[in-house]
Structure 1
Amino acid sequence: MSEQDQAAGLRKWANLQRQQQQTEGAVDVAAAEPVSEHTSPLLSPTVAAAEEPTTVAPPKPKIPLIVVGLPGSGAAQVSKVKARLGQWSTLGRSWAGDPDDWDIRIVMAETSDLAQLRDQYNRWALWISSDADTFAAMFRTLRLLHERGGPRRLLALHEPHLPRQGLLDNLREAADYYLNMELLVLAR
């Protein structure tokens, strides 16, 4: 896949994320019921409430992101993912948004219900570390996802200064060629 095709695919994915966020945040004003002039005095607001209007926005729903490739599923792992999303946000990647807007869920590739999770969640990521055995471990994880009905498209979450040439490109190409999976690698 050429770099232009990959960039176009990534822009399309980011635009889709923005559209989904806007759709999730939209309020259906037409569905609100009109207030009748003949409401019961028990339901009318008190004088104090009328003087101090309080607008409490409903909590913004968190965006689920399923992450595979991390050893364990503790709070430290979730913090690593949120830190990386925060770095992308700082770099101007609007799709990353606020790291606290994400509901990070760590899943092991060995999980027996991957197909059900794939049907339930559409945002998946592969955490890629930079140690010497990373390629073999990550390809094994991708192969397990492939064999167990996992997602076919994942975002590559990697350490900030990991160069694209080498590990990331090799992993992306191997996933595409051998497993027919798309690994989205973001350039800095």
Structure 2
Amino acid sequence: MSEQDQASGLRKWASLQRQQQQAEGTVDVAAAEHVPEDTAPLLAPALATVEEPAAMTPPKPKIPLIVVGLPGSGAPQVNKVKARLGQWSRLGRSWAGDPDDWDIRIAMAETSDLAQLRDQYSRWALWISSDADTFAGMFGTLRQLHERGGPRRLLALHEPHLPRQGLLDNLRQAADYYLNMELLVLAR
């Protein structure tokens, strides 16, 4: 509302007050006085409240997580990883947080710039499937990471029904013994 509109509104209100008092037979001098234009800005803050827009908080930066061991890349693979992080979050793992807080990046162990990626990103994971040939495939991926200067520490991302005994422990022990790599396997 502009200042002129506010002054005009005040004049109309004063005029209405005068008319009501004249109808009753008494005239209040103060109410009958004309409201000067220069006092309207002094009254404006009390009469009109201006709402300021809510402060916009900048978006929270996403946490990059480089995942190796997935066949191919794209949205379906990223969704697999996010689903697993969501399961851990629901199990009370506070570090997993909201799966949408993660910037999931799929990398191939064969990539030539693996050492540069390792220097750039600190969080790495190995996706472990549960098919019959998993051990050989995953150990081969770990060996390529080792040979190409990849990370020495990775989180084991695996399907929830995969038991720790057997495949997961064997991979963890082989990575440690043969490649001097740490594969972090989380217990349920």
Q: List structure 1 segments (4+ residues) > 4 angstroms apart after TM superposition.
A: none
Q: State how 1:65-144 maps to structure 2 within 5 Å.
A: 65-144=65-144
* Matched pairs, number: 141
> Distance in 1 between the 2:186 and 2:54 partners?
42
Partner in structure 2 of residue 54 of structure 1: 54
Partner in structure 1 of residue 187 of structure 2: 187
The Cα shift of 1:49 comes to 9.8
CA-based RMSD of the aligned residues comes to 1.3
For residues 119-150 of structure 1, the C-alpha deviation after alignment (integer angstroms, 9 at most, x for no partner) is 00000000000000000000000000000000
> Distance in 1 between the 2:53 and 2:75 partners?
38
> Distance in 2 between the 1:49 and 1:116 partners?
56
The Cα shift of 1:52 comes to 2.6
For residues 148-178 of structure 1, the C-alpha deviation after alignment (integer angstroms, 9 at most, x for no partner) is 0000000000000100000000000000000
Which stretches in structure 1 are left out of the alignment for 5+ residues?
A: 1-47
> Distance in 2 between the 1:144 and 1:50 partners?
63
What SS does structure 2 have at the residue aligned with 1:116? helix
1:160 aligns with 2:137: no
The Cα shift of 1:74 comes to 1.1
Partner in structure 2 of residue 178 of structure 1: 178
> Distance in 2 between the 1:49 and 1:147 partners?
67
> Compared with structure 1, are the counterparts of its residues 186 and 57 closer, same or farther at alpha carbon in structure 2 (3 Å cutoff)?
same
* TM-score, normalisation: structure 1: 0.73
Which stretches in structure 2 are left out of the alignment for 5+ residues?
A: 1-47
Amino acid at match of 1:133: D
Larger radius of gyration between Structure 1 and Structure 2: 2
> Distance in 2 between the 1:142 and 1:50 partners?
61
> Distance in 2 between the 1:51 and 1:161 partners?
53
Amino acid at match of 1:60: K
Identity of aligned residues (%): 89
Partner in structure 1 of residue 6 of structure 2: none
> Compared with structure 1, are the counterparts of its residues 110 and 49 closer, same or farther at alpha carbon in structure 2 (3 Å cutoff)?
farther
For residues 97-133 of structure 1, the C-alpha deviation after alignment (integer angstroms, 9 at most, x for no partner) is 0000000000000000000000000000000000000
What SS does structure 1 have at the residue aligned with 2:57? coil
What SS does structure 2 have at the residue aligned with 1:51? coil
Partner in structure 1 of residue 64 of structure 2: 64
> Distance in 2 between the 1:74 and 1:49 partners?
51
The Cα shift of 1:53 comes to 3.8
> Compared with structure 1, are the counterparts of its residues 162 and 51 closer, same or farther at alpha carbon in structure 2 (3 Å cutoff)?
same
> Distance in 2 between the 1:58 and 1:156 partners?
32
* TM-score, normalisation: structure 2: 0.73
Amino acid at match of 1:147: E
